[in-house]
Structures are given as structure tokens and as C-alpha cells.
Amino acid sequence: MTSSSSPQYSPQEVEARWQDYWEVHQTFIVQDGESSGRPKFYCLEMFPYPSGRIHMGHVRNYTIGDAVARFKRMRGFHVLHPMGWDAFGLPAENAAIKNGVHPARWTADNIAYMRAQLKKMGLSYDWKREVATCRPDYYRWNQWFFLKMFERGLAYRKEAAVNWCPACATVLANEQVVEERCWRCDSTVTQRYLAQWFFRITDYAEALLADCDRLTGWPERVLTMQKNWIGKSRGVEVTFPFVDRPGGLTIFTTRPDTLFGVTFMSLAPAHPAIETLIAGRREADAVRAFVDRVTARDKTVATTLRQEKEGCFTGAHVLHPITREPVPVWVANFVLMEYGAGAVMGVPAHDARDFEFAKKYDLAIRQVIDPGRPVTDAAHTEPVGRLIDSGAFTGMEAIAAQSAITDALVAAGSGKVRVHYRLRDWGISRQRYWGTPIPILYCAQCGVVPVPEHDLPVILPDRVPLSGQGGSPLLQVSDFLNAHCPRCAGPAQRETDTMDTFVDSSWYFLRYTTPTEQNAPVNAATAASWLPVDQYIGGIEHAVLHLLYARFFTKVARDLGLVKIDEPFVNLLTQGMVIKDGAKMSKSKGNVVDPDTLIQTYGADTARVFSLFAAPPEKDLEWSEEGVVGARRFLQRVWRRVSEVPPAATPRATIDFSNASEAVRALRRKTHQTIRKVTEDLEGFRLNTAVAALMEYHNVLSTFTAATDHRQASAAEAEGLDMLVILLAPFAPHLSESLWEMRGHPPSVFDVPWPSYDPALTEEVEVQVAVQVNGKLRQTFSAAADATEATLRERALAAVARWIADKPVQRVIVVKGRLVNIVV
């Protein structure tokens, strides 16, 4: 252990050496259930997709997590800090189509490369817990979850629309649809209906919503996004009887107060009642043509909302449930089949969409709420004002009328109070190769048959033709496709769709707790000792789907008895983006800085300190070469300073500082204030100001020169340098290890307990001291709060010298920190 005493700071040498040391000594391998009484801390960063190389966004995310993990470890926590790979997904398949590399090969190579890159960053992961979701020992548990959910009715199959490219004759993922066109051939994408598998996340809608209130460690904006996505609304389902046939049309409204303003009804183009309604009418053909036209265009909710409102009259009428007036029924492209009842009562006077629609098709507009001001050329959309022309309800306040009309409808048997959620069930079928096979068989005799648990995993076959044409690639693999029915032993075909890769990432944080468990997704007892995740760190782009799915899976796992927690992530930090020249760093913008180059040129510690210092974690970080150079210079200076001062010979504990000089006191005050500041900043994720405090502290230390023969001064300096090295360790771990050794201590600095500060030394530094001469206030001066009696006396005498002149001083009374009274 001599090489690091070289006076020149060479990050390449230092970093390689300590990365080796940590690996050999297994410094960051963590044992389960260690009964040392240390509290656990589970620190997790979102695992990456192995796209090929890490980017600055990864560097930032992982450095934040690493600083926290190292800090918590030094604070005495038993820290779990794992890393793995979100390894299934489309890019591997696209690379295979383009370059002929097998997705498994491509993925494995990328993982190997990126793992090496992460190791070069000096991240304190327990690499023994690494998971890759494309390995059978991982994805078999996706299949297991699927089977358990199928048993409980939480996984089911129904017809649903997919994106379809007619030219490529293939299903497209949403990300392969670019502005409504195929990413490969640019043809207009259409819709197709296929039988697909769904997870019934809507069963948990209320729990997912209600538990948002318990997530006090999450950013407010993420919670708002989650709540909006779940989108709960209370309203009434109202049935309008058909005029000339049995039954009626049920709609969902949140505005029963506008019931008397209904002038038409609109149905979603996919509404099942349409055929019944148009049968035998002359409008029938026109309606069918309209439905065909709009469904071909109607791909996503987003495009539906953007589209111009269009409709078609069905020729049918329904009766208003109270007035019994006939109301015409239309089909309209802005009504979604997936929401509410798939049908809406049209109230153009009070709903903007209905207003636009009524204007276009010249339908009646009937105002039923008087806002107390004239309403001219727009809808009055708020439930504010009194009802007009509303029968028995006329004159009521709109809000009061909502419950009154609801009650009347319920009493008459034509209304039901209903709660609706915007949240849809989660469609997990993908017509892709590189994903988890769905463990289902189709038997001519027995129908849909789940693969028995003991036959898991259903292995993803190796040899698959990947052309990018047609449907699911697995359909081409007859060895895979053709199997036997586990019930009747007759021939059966396997499901050839694979699972959405969001399934993989919905429970990986559970797997890290027991990554090699053979009999279940997790070992329940061990998992319980680690869960929940105490700190989760990742990008805001996952504010909705990934986090919602992970919360859903956690609740399902709880209901299956695997875990005892209701929520997976106690605290969530969403870090900002890395920006360069005003734009997000991205390949498409051509403004990418390669972390490899950064690390080779400046070192990982510099890259880390730069990215932690340049911005608060949750804000965007502007890339700046000068910033990097500044970080490097800072580390260089720390290195030089520490190497200049010989390790202290005297253990600090034996030094009595009570009569130390003001300079020594000031240094020690700064030392303890810095310990406090860095500790509190790390706890509060103010990593940038923590680094700033260390820079400032380093400046103070550098200007302090201790006479070598002065025990108190050199002890204070030694304490200061030790503290600087320890406090810097979470940020610049390699450098700190070397400096710790240079200071004469055995490695590793990460086994040193995080220092505590002496609260007395961090107290208010300056106080105002009043000086009286013969009881009369003459002067004030500021002094250190803990300045000694002798110091205060001396300074007071000097301050009032002209009032004393040559009168002899009889007595000096010093009240420490407040007052000096001089009697002459």
C-alpha cells in the first residue's frame, strides 16, 4: 500500500486501485439478515435498459444514488444497493432485424460493456445481486405472477386494438408509430382487433388512489400525475328508454344538474347498441359507413381528442327520463367506448364539446343554468348559478340540484350513482420476440389452458426468424408453437405473444432482496427484512406507468402473501435531465457527451463531483466543460493539501482545546459546522450545497497554517483534514480512500463511522458584547460566542480606551458572551 503516497494526483491509477480493492475485499457485498442491530436502508436507482453504452443521464442518476448509499452505510445503516438490467425489449429485436445479431447476444454484449462502465464509475453496488430480466431464472417468475393472476381472475383475455402497418403486415408498438405512420415504411398506420391479455389493474384503482395519501416521501407532482392517471370521478348512470323498441340507453354523466338541457345523445362508434338501433332504418348504411371511417382513424385517445368532432344521426330516439320528450341519438367520434358507459347525454349549453357538435349539426341548445350573466357564444361549463327551465328543480343552485336530480333519478329507477376511473386495464400482450412468453396453451378440446406451475419456465426459443414482417415471431417457430395440452394431452398451441416489458420492471426491486431464490419470486422472510425500498431514484418519465405498475404488483404480491408491504417505495427522488446547449442531451440532437471520454480524461471522481455539484438533484443539469475542469481542480487541490501535511502524531482525544487560540477555535468551529452542514444536506438531498460546503471548508483549511510545534494547532488541522477526507468520501470515493491512507489510517474509509459534530462548536459564532464603563454603556463589539474571558477582557479594554484614558482600572467584570463592565 504505497503507490498512493505519490504527490501527483492521478485519478486513473487511484480509481483502478480502489475499484480493485473494493472488489477483492467485497466491501459492498451485503449479507442478509445480519443481526448486528444496524437498521436497514434499501437504496435503489432505476435499472437501465442495456442499450449499449451508459449516457450522462445514467451517470447522474447512479451518482446521486451512490452518494446516498455510501453516506448511509457510513452512518451505520445496513445498506442494500443493487443493480441489474431491464434486458427485454424492442431495440434488441430491431438490432437483430437490421444487423443480424441475435437479441440475446446483442443484449449480453451490451450488459458486459455497460457493467464495466458502471464499475469504472466506482458505484458501490452489491454485484452479487445483479439481475437481468431476459434470463429464464428471472422471467419464469413473470410467468408465475401471470399464472397466479390468471387463477384469481386478474389476468384475462379480450379483443383490443393494436397498431397495424398494412404494408409491412405487422403489428407496431406505440413507439414504432411516428406521427401516425410506420417507422420503417412510412405507411399510414391502421387499427386491428386482436385477442390480447390484460391485467386487471382496475381492481386496484381505489387502493392505488387512496394510498397516494400515504406516499409522503414522493414529490407532489408525481402524486398528482398518478392521481390524474387513475382519474376517479363520481357521477350518475342514467338510462333513457328507447322510443320504439325495448330497453334503453345508459349514459354516464358527472353533471346531472344539466339533465333538462339534454338535446341529443351521442354514442361511441364501437357502442354495441348501434346495430340494434339502426336495424331496419334508412340511416343504417350511412351510420355503418361513418363507423367504419372513424374507427379506421381512431387509434389512440390522444388523436381522438385532437380530431374535429364528427357525428352521424342514427334515426333513433330515446325518451328523456323525466320530461318524456324524445331525444335524437347520434354516433360521435369524440365518445370513447372505454370510458363510463360509452355513451353521453349531449348538453350543448353547458359542455364545450357538445356545443361545438350542436353548432356543426344545427342541434338545439337549451340553457338550464343561469350564471347571472349573459351567455352568448360558448357553453357555460361550470356548475355555478341557479337552474332554469328544469321542472321541479328550477331555482335550485346547480350543486344542490346535482344531488336532488340524482335522488329523483334513483327513486324513479332510471339512475344509479356510479364512480368511474379513467384507469384502464393493463394490456400486456406484445407481438414481439424479445420478451417473456405468456404461459398459456390453446387446446381444441379444453380451450384456454394455463401452463402448470411445475412446467415453468416456458423458455423463449433461441432460433427465431426475425424479419419485422407479420405477427408474433414465435408463430414461426413450430417447436415452440406446437405442444401438448396439460389437461387432455391432445395437441395444443402455445400463446405466441410475449409480455410487455413493464411487467419485468414491476417487481425487480423485490427480486434483488433474494436474487437466487429458486422456489418463489422472493423468499418472503428475507424480503421482509429489506422491504420497502427506502429511497428510489429515477427519471420523471416514469412518473406514471412504471411507478403505477410497480405499486400494483406490490399490492398483488402482498395479496399473494409474498410481501408484507402495501407500497414499494417510501421516498422517491426524480432527478432532472442533463442539458447541453439548451437541449436535452440525446443522440438525435447530436449533443451527447460520452461518459467514457469524461472518465478517461478527468476521472470518475471528477465526473461524480461535477454532476453532483452543478445542480440540485431534482433540477436540470447544464453540461459545462468548465464545470468539469473546476471539479477536477478542486480534487487536485484537496489531494495536494492532504499530501503536504504529515499525518498527525497526537491522537485528537488527548488534546485539550479549552485555552486554544482564536485561530484554532475558528478552525474547529468551521470543522464542526461543516460536518453538520454536509450531514444535513445529504439527509435532505441537497448534494450540490454539500459539495459547495466542502469546497469552502477546503479553502479555510488551506489558509490555516499550523506552527509544527504547536500541538493544539496541528491537532485541529489534523482533525480538519481527516474530516474533509471522510466527508468527501460519498462524493469522490476513490480519492478519499487514497487520502485516508495518506493520512495514516488503514483502509477503507467506508468502514469509518460518519463523524458526529459537537453542537456547542456549531453554535452561533458571533455575539455582540456590550462594554460598560462605570455602569454606562460606551461601546459594543462582536466576538466569537465561545471567546474566553481573557480575550473578552482584553478586547473590551481596547474598545473603551479613550473613556478610561489614564484612570486606573479597579475591576473588570466579564459576563461571557454578553457584557464587560469596567470600573475605573
Q: How far is Cα of residue 589 from the mean position of the Cα atoms in its chain?
A: 24
Binding footprint of ligand ANZ, residue count (CB under 6 A):
18
Q: Tell whether residue 265 is a contact of ligand ANZ (CB under 6 A).
A: no
Identify the residue among 249, 329, 443, 612 touching Zn ion (CB under 5 A): 443
Q: Is 503 left (phi over 0), alpha (psi -120 to 50) or beta?
A: alpha
Q: Least distance (Å) from ligand ANZ to the CB of residue 412?
A: 18
Quick one: 347 or 533, whose CB is closer to ligand ANZ? 347
- Output 555-562 pairs: Cβ under 8 A, ≥24 positions apart: 555/204, 555/207, 555/208, 556/145, 556/148, 556/149, 556/154, 556/204, 557/145, 557/507, 557/510, 557/521, 557/522, 560/148, 561/524, 562/510, 562/520, 562/521, 562/522, 562/524, 562/527
Quick one: 336 or 799, whose CB is closer to ligand ANZ? 336
How many CB atoms are located within 10 Å of the residue 810 CB?
9
**From ligand ANZ, Zn ion, none, interface partner of 446 (C-beta below 5 to 8 A by class):** Zn ion
Q: Tell whether residue 258 is a contact of ligand ANZ (CB under 6 A).
A: yes
Measured CA to CA, the distance from residue 254 to residue 789 in angstroms comes to 76
Q: Least distance (Å) from Zn ion to the CB of residue 479?
A: 19
Backbone angles phi, psi at 468, to 5 degrees: 80, 5
Identify the residue among 420, 558, 793, 795 touching ligand ANZ (CB under 6 A): 420
Quick one: 82 or 340, whose CB is closer to ligand ANZ? 340
Q: Tell whether residue 309 is a contact of ligand ANZ (CB under 6 A).
A: no
Contact 285, 232 (CB under 8 A): no
Q: Tell whether residue 401 is a contact of ligand ANZ (CB under 6 A).
A: no
Q: Least distance (Å) from Zn ion to the CB of residue 318?
A: 46
**From Zn ion, ligand ANZ, none, interface partner of 255 (C-beta below 5 to 8 A by class):** ligand ANZ
The C-alpha cell 501527483 sits at: 8
Q: Tell whether residue 342 is a contact of ligand ANZ (CB under 6 A).
A: yes
Quick one: 396 or 773, whose CB is closer to ligand ANZ? 396
User: Which residue stretch of 243-251, 436-444, 535-543, 740-748 sits at the interface with Zn ion (rule: CB under 5 A)?
Assistant: 436-444
Q: Least distance (Å) from Zn ion to the CB of residue 444?
A: 7
Measured CA to CA, the distance from residue 568 to residue 215 in angstroms comes to 10
Q: Cell triple for residue 688?
A: 450540490
Give burial (CB, 10 Å; 0-12/13-18/19+) of 572: buried
**Among 311, 232, 317, 314, residue whose Cα is nearest residue 281:** 314
**From Zn ion, ligand ANZ, none, interface partner of 347 (C-beta below 5 to 8 A by class):** ligand ANZ
Q: Tell whether residue 446 is a contact of Zn ion (CB under 5 A).
A: yes
**From Zn ion, ligand ANZ, none, interface partner of 488 (C-beta below 5 to 8 A by class):** Zn ion
Q: Least distance (Å) from ligand ANZ to the CB of residue 300?
A: 14
User: Which residue stretch of 335-343, 423-431, 532-540, 709-717 sits at the interface with ligand ANZ (rule: CB under 6 A)?
Assistant: 335-343
Quick one: 346 or 603, whose CB is closer to ligand ANZ? 346
First to last CA, the chain: 66
Q: Write the interaction track for Zn ion spanning residues 470-489; mark x where CB under 5 A is met and - where it is not.
A: ---------------x-xx-
**Among 164, 228, 148, 160, residue whose Cα is nearest residue 194:** 160
Beta bridge partners of 233: 420
Quick one: 53 or 487, whose CB is closer to Zn ion? 487
Contact 819, 772 (CB under 8 A): yes
- Helix or strand run (H / E) with residue 792: helix 789-799
Identify the residue among 51, 191, 254, 300 touching ligand ANZ (CB under 6 A): 254
User: Which residue stretch of 344-352, 432-440, 577-585, 635-643 sits at the interface with ligand ANZ (rule: CB under 6 A)?
Assistant: 344-352
Give Cα separations from 750 to 535, 637, 761 (angstroms): 20, 22, 25
**Among 521, 496, 520, 518, residue whose Cα is nearest residue 506:** 521
User: Which residue stretch of 13-21, 174-182, 218-226, 332-340 sits at the interface with ligand ANZ (rule: CB under 6 A)?
Assistant: 332-340
**From Zn ion, ligand ANZ, none, interface partner of 233 (C-beta below 5 to 8 A by class):** ligand ANZ
Identify the residue among 70, 120, 255, 299 touching ligand ANZ (CB under 6 A): 255
Beta bridge partners of 122: none
Q: Tell whether residue 421 is a contact of ligand ANZ (CB under 6 A).
A: no
Q: Tell whether residue 253 is a contact of ligand ANZ (CB under 6 A).
A: yes
Q: Write the interaction track for ligand ANZ spanning residues 230-249; mark x where CB under 6 A is met and - where it is not.
A: ---x----------------
Identify the residue among 14, 69, 344, 792 touching ligand ANZ (CB under 6 A): 344
Quick one: 396 or 607, whose CB is closer to ligand ANZ? 396
Q: Least distance (Å) from ligand ANZ to the CB of residue 229?
A: 13
How many CB atoms are located within 10 Å of the residue 72 CB?
24
3-state SS class at 493 = strand
Q: Tell whether residue 445 is a contact of Zn ion (CB under 5 A).
A: yes
The C-alpha cell 400515504 sits at: 214
Quick one: 332 or 577, whose CB is closer to ligand ANZ? 332
Strands (E), 89-180: 155-165, 170-172, 177-178
Q: Tell whether residue 357 is a contact of ligand ANZ (CB under 6 A).
A: no
Q: Tell whether residue 448 is a contact of Zn ion (CB under 5 A).
A: no
Quick one: 17 or 420, whose CB is closer to ligand ANZ? 420
**From Zn ion, ligand ANZ, none, interface partner of 312 (C-beta below 5 to 8 A by class):** none
Measured CA to CA, the distance from residue 787 to residue 765 in angstroms comes to 9
Q: Tell whether residue 350 is a contact of ligand ANZ (CB under 6 A).
A: yes
Quick one: 95 or 368, whose CB is closer to ligand ANZ? 368
Measured CA to CA, the distance from residue 787 to residue 767 in angstroms comes to 10
Where in 482-541 is the site for Zn ion (CB under 5 A)?
485, 487-488, 490
Q: Least distance (Å) from Zn ion to the CB of residue 303?
A: 42
Measured CA to CA, the distance from residue 333 to residue 325 in angstroms comes to 25
Backbone angles phi, psi at 10, to 5 degrees: -120, 95
Q: Tell whether residue 358 is a contact of ligand ANZ (CB under 6 A).
A: no
User: Which residue stretch of 5-13, 251-259, 535-543, 598-606 sits at the interface with ligand ANZ (rule: CB under 6 A)?
Assistant: 251-259
Contact 414, 395 (CB under 8 A): no
Quick one: 375 or 446, whose CB is closer to ligand ANZ? 375
The CA radius of gyration of the chain, in Å to the nearest whole number, is 35
Give burial (CB, 10 Å; 0-12/13-18/19+) of 147: middle
Q: Least distance (Å) from ligand ANZ to the CB of residue 379?
A: 7
Q: Least distance (Å) from ligand ANZ to the CB of residue 435?
A: 31
Task: Print the SS3 string covering 178-246.
Answer: ECCEECCCCCECEEEEEEEEEECHHHHHHHHHHHHHHCCECCHHHHHHHHHHHCEEEEEEEEEEECCCC
Measured CA to CA, the distance from residue 389 to residue 367 in angstroms comes to 8
**From ligand ANZ, Zn ion, none, interface partner of 350 (C-beta below 5 to 8 A by class):** ligand ANZ
Q: Is 417 left (phi over 0), alpha (psi -120 to 50) or beta?
A: beta
Identify the residue among 66, 351, 370, 500 touching ligand ANZ (CB under 6 A): 351
Q: Give residues in contact with ligand ANZ (CB under 6 A).
A: 233, 252-255, 258, 268, 335-336, 339-340, 342, 344-345, 347, 350-351, 420
Q: Give residues in contact with Zn ion (CB under 5 A).
A: 443, 445-446, 485, 487-488, 490
